[in-house]
Chains A and B, each alone.
Chain A
Amino acid sequence: MDKAKVLSDDLLKLKLEIRQFALDYGLTFYDVEFEVCDYDTVNILAAQGGFPTRYPHWRFGMEYDQFSKGYAYGVQKIYEMVINTDPCYAYLLNANHTVDQKIVMAHVYGHADFFKNNAWFSNTNRKMMDVMANHRTKIRRYMEKYGADEVELFIDKILSLENLLDITDLFETTDVQRHRQEIEKIASAEKNKTFDDDRSEALRSFMKSSFTQQQKKAKKDKAIKDKEREKERDKDKEHQSEEERARAERDGDKHKDSLDDPTKNATLLKVLPRPQRDIMKFLAEHAPITEWQSDVISILREEAYYYLPQRVTKIMNEGWASYWHSRIMTEKSLEASEITDFADHHAGVMQTSRKSLNPYKLGIELFRDIEYRWNTGRFGKEYNDCDDIHQKENWDLKLGQGRAKIFEVRKAHNDISFIDEFLTQDFCNRNQMFTYKFNPRTNRFEIDTRDFEAIKVKLLSSLTNYGAPVIEVEDANFANRGELLLAHRHYGVDLDLNYAHDTMKNIWAVWKRPINLRTKYDNKEIIFVFDGKELRPVA
């Protein structure tokens, strides 16, 4: 990072100017620190997900390799990068022209506002700079202690699980967590009291299920935030083992003593109260692994969750930032001499493609459309039910609520709800959207349809669960053999079995017992098992 420099006077002046424009428009944000870097530094930062320090891993080297080559061969260029911290850090490329720097700054303030105000970001750790640095120190220490290869190999395996996250975890605050843990404690105490009585099996099982319901109602997940964990390591260990003991007792397991064994015995965990979507956490807590391995999982999990809000708001986030760079530039900041350069740059970013949707373009157009509709009152039952084409075309209630509406939207939505609520037939037509699919007869991809509903369904399903398959741990003692049962919630698209095989191999290496996967393949319900050697369907 020694290559990054603070702003020169000129740039500082620009920054203050643009910052003021952004404030005038009503954007709010944590302070933004701009740093000027040369290209190599930008490549390094981009490769490391925006952060100057990450734990040692070849993957960052690979990213760096690609960014550098992409730049050298002229295929790609990074214009702008900003990270979600307090203060926000953003990087400016020293080779850029003034007008480019202005656009980037304006764009960055859009992102900064989004980071601060969008609900999905409300619980992200704004001190991630420090957290990332701590992670590096920890992993380096593990590497010194247990061997770099060993640790790297383990990281490779865990990275396989990086897309198996539970998006609702984003809303588990510390308060919620504490509340939940208390309830659990009480519940387990009650359990202890009533466990050895002579009530019938049926009654007991009834109580058990009402307990699960109560627990469900009580609050979402059982996450123990990793941060907490680091800080209150010891305290937390208590919690953890208590939790486990409680669970074990719930399940009627009387071999309590074996729980004191530091390597957790997976087979003790018989029944999951409900399917676990947070597979990384599940493994960190229940797999028979060592302390450091569990910690590595927690580290990678925390980083994955840090990036998750950005993954579920890509369209909105880029759309919002683009909307504001466009407004700030065209209404306030541009010099006459800069207009063509701005237009050129902006058009490049907004370029549409026949092969994929450009999130920048889709996002900015949607925000503009919403603003227009709420300015003119083109929403609601009355407008939708209007049959008179002429009247509909000239519909204008002069509400002027557009600006307020888009601020509200940027606060409350993520990409899915954003598309679901604001993508209209009219919008699809105007933006010439279509879906395409492969035609085996002609051996090429062809436009499939311009039907609004079809487009919307396809877009929404591609965004569901941030584009990853929904997979949950359903049973930790499958077939009473301590095997893991994963369930794939099939929403119409089959899994790629080759990838599934390799992924399950990695999970197997952590769980150390066969991994089962229930899914649908070729329209048939099927369970695959990976037993350490091969992936095969369960007969």
Chain B
Amino acid sequence: MDHPIKRDHARFRKIIKGKIRENLRKYVSSGDMIIPKGPKRFSIPMPQIEIPRFKFGDKSQGGMGQGQGNPGDPVDGQPDEQGEGKEAGQGEGNKDVEVELTIEELAQILGEELELPNIEPKGRHQIESHKDRYTTIGVIGPESLRHFKRTFRESLKRQLIMGTYDFRNPLIVPIKNDYRYKAAHTKVEYENSAVVIYMMDVSGSMGDEQKEIVRTESFWINLWLKHQYKNIEIRYIIHDATAKEVDEDTFFKTRESGGTLISSAFILCRDIIKKDYDANEWNIYPFHFSDGDNWSLDDTKLCLEILDSDLLKVSNMFCYGQVESRYGSGQFYKDLFEKYGERSDSVILSKIKNKEGILDSIKEFLGKGK
């Protein structure tokens, strides 16, 4: 029988299902907690429910430490909670454990908590890759790969057969034919590839807050897609009345003013796909973020045309995220909604009210498993 604590544990997990999302929300929105530490490592707090108690405020009080240094020298990091050394001791302690997670683990947690389905790639495994794995034995090879045990065995075998083995003087002398080497086995793997094309309206009405939302959201979307595809490329397009392709940094920092022609971005997106990504080989994800303003009805009409005739045909799905802003009218969402409705499989619409809305929006985008 299982220990009763497994029931407590299951209960805890259940509570967190509601609760961890709060937690996730907290650090998704703050963005600060997600600090890449070295390549591909992140530090996130473990899910924890804190029972409220009277306690002292003002962490900036600081604390005490031991070591060298003069007044004014920095003490690295945040103060620890008083507690746990290496041994757990006999009492209760405070365990604010931070666990280092790899991107994969983080993505897994995200997937688990949001109950994201795994993506079923379009069924073409076009890109071949060759992988060498040393899983077999060969009779030729460099000395550095010599397999001692196998060589020894061959030698022993030969000497036994020839009757030259003397158990009183068990001397094994390998000759050239006895030598065995580790050899590589080449495996062909087919990989799924995906490209994400982010488009963002950078006209005057998109403020820093809106961009921060897009940035956080795209971080998590990338995280998930990277988890799902071996080979992934990310392209960025910004637009106001005209569109251009930029690098990641520029994408989030640029602020233009002036009008908005969404079609300009769609056209550029179409061209990029045409030029670089064969729809038979690539899973294509265009994402568009704006505050919903477009210059004219005519342009919106043009957008819908491009969507229908080009983008939707080649992409897994087209995602539009409308970031709420004080200045935006939100008209574009309405237009898309009118045409494709809520339940469309190929066009996914999402409204992002504020930072807290990011997780729900991610779930809307990625919840289809496409």
Question: Which B residues lie within 8 Å of A494 (CB)?
Answer: 56-58
Report the minimum CB–CB distance from A73 to chain B (whole Å).
Answer: 5
Do the beta carbons of A447 and B69 come within 8 Å of each other?
yes
**Given A76-B84, A450-B71, also A468-B49 (CB < 8 A):** no
Q: Which residue of A lies closest to B51 (CB)?
A: A159
Query: CB-CB < 8 A to B83: which residues of A?
Result: 356
Kindly identify which residue among B53, B66, B87 contacts A434, using a CB–CB cutoff of 8 Å.
B66
Contact A447 B73 (CB under 8 A): yes
Q: Which residues of B contact A48 (CB under 8 A)?
A: 5
CA of A444 to CA of B79, assembled, Å: 11
For residue B98, which residue of chain A has the nearest CB?
Answer: A75
Q: Is residue B63 contacting chain A, with contact meaning CB distance below 8 A?
A: yes
Does chain A have a CB within 8 A of B86?
Answer: yes
Of B13, B65, B74, the residue contacting A444 (CB under 8 A) is B74
Kindly name the residue among B56, B72, B77 whose own CB sees the greatest number of chain A CB atoms within 10 A.
Answer: B56
Residues of A within 8 A of B82 (CB): 356-357, 462, 467
Is there an interface contact between A160 and B53, defined as CB atoms closer than 8 Å?
yes
Cα A96 to Cα B4 with chains together (Å): 26
**In the complex the two chains form, is B48's CB within 8 Å of A434's CB?**
no
A526 within 8 A of B: no
Query: Judging by beta carbons under 8 Å apart, are B8 and A499 in contact?
Result: no
Q: Mark B36-49, 1 if CB is under 8 A from A, else 0.
A: 00000000001111
Separation of A230 and B69 alpha carbons in the complex (Å): 56
Give A467 to B60 CA distance when docked, in angstroms.
Answer: 16
Task: Tell me whether B80 is interfacial, beta carbon within 8 Å.
Answer: yes
B334 located at the interface, meaning its Cβ lies under 8 Å from any Cβ of chain A in the complex: no
What 0/1 readout, one digit per residue, does chain A (432-450) give for beta carbons within 8 Å of chain B?
1111111010101111111
- How many residues does chain B have at the interface if contact means C-beta atoms less than 8 Å apart? 63
Known: A307-B92, A360-B87, A503-B53. A455 touches B60 (CB 8 A): no
With A445-B74, A446-B75, A494-B56 known as contacts, the answer to whether A353 contacts B90 (CB < 8 A) is no
* CB of B7 to closest CB in A, whole Å: 7
Q: Does B80 contact A499, Cβ atoms closer than 8 Å? A: no
- In the complex, which residues of chain A have a beta carbon less than 8 angstroms from the beta carbon of B88? 46, 76, 78-81
**Chain A residue at minimal CB-CB distance from B94:** A467
Nearest neighbor of A84 in chain B, beta-carbon distance = B90
Contact of B54 among A69, A359, A471 (CB under 8 A): A471
B326 contacts A by Cβ under 8 Å = no
Residue A154 interfacial (CB < 8 Å): no
The answer to whether A65 and B68 touch across the interface, beta carbons within 8 angstroms, is no
The CA of A115 and the CA of B74, in the complex, are separated in Å by 39
Do residues A469 and B64 form an inter-chain contact, with CB atoms below 8 A?
no
Q: Do B55 and A66 touch (CB < 8 A)?
A: no
A469 contacts across to B, CB distance below 8 A: 54-56
* A49-B87 contact, Cβ under 8 Å, with A62-B49, A164-B54, A446-B73: no
What is the bound-complex CA distance between A469 and B54, given in angstroms? 7
Chain A residue contacts of B71, Cβ below 8 A: 434, 446-450
- Contact for B91 among A307, A432, A450, CB less than 8 A: A307
Q: Is A188 an interface position by the 8 A CB rule?
A: no
The contact size tier of chain A is 35 or more
Closest chain B CB from A461 CB (angstroms): 10
Indicate with 1 or 0, residue by residue over B6-25, a CB within 8 angstroms of chain A CB atoms.
11111111010000000000
B54 touches A311 (CB 8 A): no
Check B85 against A495 for contact (C-beta < 8 Å): no
Q: Does B100 contact A (CB under 8 A)?
A: yes
A111 at the interface (CB under 8 A from B): yes
CB <8 Å contact, B52 and A160:
yes
In the assembled complex, B123 has its CB within 8 A of some CB on chain A: no
Set B7, B64, B87: member contacting A435, Cβ < 8 A: B64
Write the chain B residue with the least CB distance to A83: B90
Q: Is the CB of B97 within 8 A of A503?
A: no
Q: A66-B97, A69-B46, A446-B72 are in contact. Are A360 and B85 (CB under 8 A)?
A: yes
The reply to whether B75 and A468 contact each other, CB–CB distance below 8 Å, is: no
B95 lies within 8 A of chain A by Cβ: yes
Q: B249 within 8 Å of A by Cβ?
A: no
Which residues on the A side are within 8 Å of B52 (C-beta)? 160, 499, 501-503, 505-506
B99 proximal to A (CB < 8 A): yes
B3 at the interface (CB under 8 A from A): yes
Structural contact, B60 and A355, CB atoms closer than 8 A = no
Q: Does A332 contact B (CB under 8 A)?
A: no
A353 touches B66 (CB 8 A): yes
In Å, the complex CA distance between A53 and B5 comes to 9
The interface residues of chain A lying within 8 Å CB-to-CB of B65 are 352-357, 433-436, 447
Tell me the nearest residue of chain B to A88, going by C-beta: B90
Contact A65–B12 (Cβ < 8 Å): yes
Q: Is B61 an interface residue when CB atoms closer than 8 A count as contact?
A: yes
Is A333 part of the binding interface, using a Cβ–Cβ cutoff of 8 Å?
no
Cβ B64 vs Cβ A356 within 8 A: yes
Q: Using Cβ atoms and an 8 Å threshold, which residues of chain A touch B46?
A: 65-66, 69
Chain A contacts of B12 at CB under 8 A? 58-59, 61-62, 65
B13 to chain A: which residues have CB within 8 Å? 61, 65
A497 at interface (Cβ–Cβ under 8 A)? yes
Chain B residues contacting A459 (CB-CB under 8 Å) are 64
Q: Is A242 an interface residue (CB 8 A)?
A: no
Residue A285 is within 8 A (CB to CB) of chain B in the complex: no
Which B-chain residue is minimally distant from A114 (CB atoms)? B90
- Taking the closest CB of chain B, its distance from the CB of A451, in whole angstroms, is 9
Docked Cα-Cα span, A79 to B59, in Å, equals 30
Bound-complex Cα distance A90 to B67 (A):
33
B89 within 8 A of A: yes
Complex contact B68–A496 (CB within 8 A): no
A482 to chain B, nearest CB (A): 22
A186 to B201, CA, bound (A): 83
A118 an interface residue at 8 Å Cβ cutoff?
Answer: no
A400 within 8 A of B: no
The smallest C-beta distance from B76 to any residue of chain A, in angstroms, reads 7
A310 proximal to B (CB < 8 A): yes
6 CB contacts below 8 A, A to B, read A61-B6, A163-B55, A354-B65, A357-B65, A432-B66, A449-B71
Q: Which 8 A-B pairs have the closest CB atoms?
A: A61-B8, A502-B52, A437-B62, A496-B57, A438-B60, A61-B12, A61-B9, A310-B91
A310-B90, A435-B65 known; 6 new pairs, CB 8 Å cut-off, are A49-B91, A58-B12, A76-B84, A107-B87, A438-B60, A468-B54
